[in-house]
Amino acid sequence: MREGHIVLIGEMGSGKTTVGGIVAAALGRPLVDSDEQIEARFGESGRLLAEDHGVEWLHQAEAGALIDALDRVEPAVICPAASIADRPDLLDRLEDPALTVALLDGDPVVLRERVAEGDHRRPLDPEEARVLAAARRDRTRRVVSLVVDVTSIEPDEAAARVLRHVVA
């Protein structure tokens, strides 16, 4: 089994936190979720922080959350914000061979429907979500060792696929 961090990347609604929680529990590792990190640090959800300070400010906070998570010594399951795919410097950090990076991918319409269920994420219109997802998928290809299409599978199955990849 690989001993470094497992990083689950993907768009909002891809199930990073849910799948990450299952993977972390199965491996006895901590789950480090950027939404939780940011809320603990700033006392507000990402959605409210974006409204108060702007989207670019939120993306900077999300980048800092990933850097803090990657600097942890204890192997963890890390679930960063989707925006990290927009930062070449962060993608460079994810090229570390000690990391396992899995992309939780899916139909943007389905993922958008999942996002609509919560109130802590910034809403995106369907076309913006589709364009962002496609661009991010292309940019992250170089760091990803596993792609899991979560469009029509349950989180348990997505986690099982990640676990099979990690223990192989």
pLDDT in tens, 38-71: 999 999 988 889 889 998 999 999 999 999 999 9
Band (pLDDT 50/70/90 cuts) for residue 130 is: confident
Query: Quick one: pLDDT at residue 110?
Result: 85
Average pLDDT of the residues in 128-134: 83
pLDDT score recorded for residue 79: 98
Q: What is the pLDDT of residue 116?
A: 64
Confidence of residue 117 (pLDDT cuts 50, 70, 90): low
Is 122's pLDDT higher than 70?
A: no
Percent above pLDDT 70 for the chain: 93
pLDDT for 133-149, tens place per residue?
A: 899 999 999 999 999 99
Q: Round to whole Å and give the CA distance between 102 and 111.
A: 17
3-class SS of residue 147: strand
**What would the DSSP string read from start to end of 71-111?**
T-SS--EEE--GGGGG-HHHHHHHT-TT-EEEEEE--HHHH
Write the CATH number of the domain with boundaries 6-167.
3.40.50.300
Question: What pLDDT score was predicted for residue 1?
Answer: 62
Query: What is the 3-state secondary structure of 11-41?
Result: CCCCCHHHHHHHHHHHHCCCEEEHHHHHHHH
Instruction: Supply the pLDDT for residue 2.
Output: 65
pTM of the model: 0.91
